Chains A and B, each alone.
Chain A
């Protein structure tokens, strides 16, 4: 077979594969183009399995000439020469996005530049221009992608389920929206509004819109800057911790990127010590770095960037996290509302590092007046944030969680039991109230659920017979084996009776009888099976065993040493703040709150 130079169509398809892997990458490219066009409002509509995507912006639009050029490879408004690559501050620059998308879909662009009365459109299918001409359009640009990957069936086959692809695409919009709180985003998926941000420029407001109140109130904002570079960190309290890193991310110059070790470096500065069990808090890093420090031309989709040696990025990220954590000390409850850091504060204003240069005019941004290669050689100092560095979102009451997380549970002084259900304790931050049931659930859950080492099962001297309800008996029948694996050895004992022969060694003790333990497990099994449906009945049963073990029920009086013991056991938990069902185990009523309630403030 002889060697030939591939024809243009084939080349386009190959190139398209690098940039456009899946619907989410199309969304990313189109939204970035919109941001490069200085849009203030961006709407994304996803339909079908993510193979129909519409992105509408109110940006500067394109002239008819630009419109016909834009679908050609390496046609870009954003750079002119190779030298410019070192100073990329716009999102796009390779001129690959639109042609790549056009090569693997049916694409229609309608656009109207600001100041012009008429709009234009172009229709492209698999890279071939089908139609051009004048067409009505609102100011800005609308890109409409249909039948994505219709001509690359292999690529199409590699896509995951429609739901997964849509979720990824929405996730991408989320990432972009968080990086640009100054732009209002709207995203509809399958006709449902799934995301919208106000575009007021406030990070916490944007986070509130994206992540919801529950999360946003647990988040603190901090920043750090040196000449030429700046970092803002959105850091969640330990309540936001998860086993995965899905709620972590880095943005450099408003571009969601992955940089090896950056988020990890920031997490290491997390003040609540190493989060045991490899749990990761919400942690978003928004950095602006001198463009010449950031090599984005590593990956066609720019997902991975390389940082220049000696970059202050890592130190800055850590400093911003520390600042966020310290913020809760600075932020008085009263003055934090609305004092959020604005977008302009971090980017050192978009005109420096932000990618907001209007298309059609490549903007070169230099740091100071020094020769290139000496970034930050001095003249420009970063504007200080309008608010204090670091605030918490004040929504409803001031969140006390941060004070609480800093509490050393084992150092609490138990005061006594309230209503036989709660433990009142004197803590450094105020009155700490522990839900004994939830706390105990957590303790047992970690003992059992840790699952790394089986605690073994205590053989009973006197096997315990228990008569089950028909429902419980049915659940027992289904779960018998898994129960045995968890150390709960039972056997049928006639009728709906069950004989308990062994129980998990952790749960053995004169205080807890095996019978209610089993009944609790079986009851919990129903809830858990539902909750853990995708995880399978096995795990459900295991978790049920754990949560069952809520042996110290509410309404059980506890004596002094038992109070202390529960507290110290809770303190030794990997994640003491929530019960396995996610309810809080501990709340803090701060001294301030107490003073306020007594009318002393």
Chain B
């Protein structure tokens, strides 16, 4: 195998796939990147068994072939060499690569390509087309709420509900629920749902183009394949039944408040500084024309904030975890938000005003 390519192209490609490289696997070859030179292209692949990323860089291929090179060294070296052309000669028998640029030459020991696990071919019964930006936003507005404890594996993922005109995402760690949807023409005939790992969605979010450019997904029984630009991304699917989040949404509310997102967020943030670490509890008190946010910790002190708000219903007083409120507020994507409260021990709904494309279910902290 022998090829030459521009340093910038190589750096970019390596950095793209490197997110799927794992050093924790018992399989040492997974700490490497599979490089395949063919058809005036260098293809790069990395996988950690949960996700895999594949991309390519333009290259002048003199002799096709493949090798696995340790990601860490390749990445570090490529970043440090001057821009310009880098050529690479590989002795596939001994799995050694010789990198040459200007008057330098480096030898890097790798693995034979056959040791790298075969990636499953892209397959899937259901096709989905969505703009990169829309999918990114859906992930950004929900993925923070997935659980990081694998006791209940389904909760470490987010639920994607896909229908021809709507893609909706639910994420919950059991303590709160984040929901967002996007409307459009997404192709396909039927509706289906799939649970994708939160971590995979996080990586996908980084790879997706921030534009109207359409990306393509193939949804299969145990994997989902995405293609965005020149990057192919595959993630495994989490098996199981996702909890019915819709059942948690209260049917009616005893009080509502509408306020400026920024003002409320800032006030909440300040008040929570006084709250006990770990709980970050703030009290919300609905009053005529405003909302009072307070917190108190015996050893630290107390805080009281007042934010202008339109309130309706009963003058309720409810405690919440400031963290859950703030995380929800940051992703309403709206100047004004609405908080609908159904009581001091019942779910509350937080949503943007003027848009129906997202909501959060936050649960109060019950005090006796």
Contacts and interface: CB of A to CB of B under 8 A. Distances in A.
A155 interface: no
Nearest to A444: B278
Contacts of B148: 510-511
A82 interface: no
B321 A457 contact: no
Contacts of B365: 455-459, 505
Given A458-B321, A462-B174, A510 B366 contact: no
A514 B149 CA distance: 10
A204 to B, nearest CB: 38
A460 B175 contact: yes
A460 B175 CA distance: 5
A455 B281 contact: yes
A261 B61 CA distance: 89
Nearest to B151: A513
Interface residues of A, number: 27
Interface in A524-570: 569
Contacts of A454: 367-368
A456 B364 CA distance: 10
Contact of A456 (B149, B172, B319): B319
Contact of A513 (B152, B245, B345): B152
A511 B156 CA distance: 10
Nearest to B297: A453
B366 A459 contact: yes
A566 to B, nearest CB: 12
B366 A509 contact: no
A276 to B, nearest CB: 10
B230 interface: no
Interface string A497-508: 000001001101
B310 to A, nearest CB: 26
Interface in A3-60: none
B256 to A, nearest CB: 19
A480 interface: no
Most buried by B among A454, A461, A572: A461
B363 A513 contact: no
A569 B278 CA distance: 9
A502 B367 CA distance: 11
A459 B298 contact: no
A560 to B, nearest CB: 15
B366 A456 contact: yes
A80 to B, nearest CB: 60
Nearest to B323: A509
A462 B281 contact: no
Contact of B321 (A452, A462, A505, A511): A505
B333 to A, nearest CB: 21
Interface in B221-253: 243, 245, 248
Contacts of B149: 510-513
Interface string B273-287: 000111101000000
Given A510-B149, A513-B147, A513-B151, A461 B177 contact: yes
Given A454-B367, A502-B366, A510-B146, A461 B278 contact: no
A464 interface: yes
Given A464-B152, A511-B148, A511-B149, A457 B366 contact: yes
B363 A461 contact: yes
Contacts of B175: 458, 460-461, 508-510
B197 interface: no
B157 interface: no
Interface string A569-582: 10010000000000
Most buried by A among B174, B297, B361, B363: B174
A434 B243 CA distance: 38
Contacts of B155: 462, 513
B89 interface: no
Contacts of A455: 276, 278-279, 281, 365
B248 to A, nearest CB: 6
A453 B275 CA distance: 12
Contacts of A512: 149
B172 A461 contact: yes
B305 interface: no
A365 to B, nearest CB: 52
B279 A461 contact: no
Interface string B244-276: 010010000000000000000000000000001
Nearest to A509: B175
A515 interface: yes
A439 to B, nearest CB: 14
Interface string A471-514: 00000000000000000000000000000001001101111111
Contacts of B173: 509-510
Contacts of A516: 151
A143 B174 CA distance: 73
A515 B152 contact: yes
B132 interface: no
Contacts of B174: 460-462, 464, 513-514
A279 to B, nearest CB: 16
Nearest to A500: B174
A447 interface: yes
B347 interface: yes
B363 A505 contact: no
B326 to A, nearest CB: 14
A452 to B, nearest CB: 7
Nearest to B244: A462
B121 to A, nearest CB: 33
13 contacts: A455-B279, A456-B367, A457-B366, A458-B366, A462-B155, A462-B243, A462-B245, A502-B366, A505-B281, A510-B145, A510-B149, A511-B148, A569-B277
The 3 closest A-B pairs by CB, nearest first: A513-B151, A456-B365, A459-B363
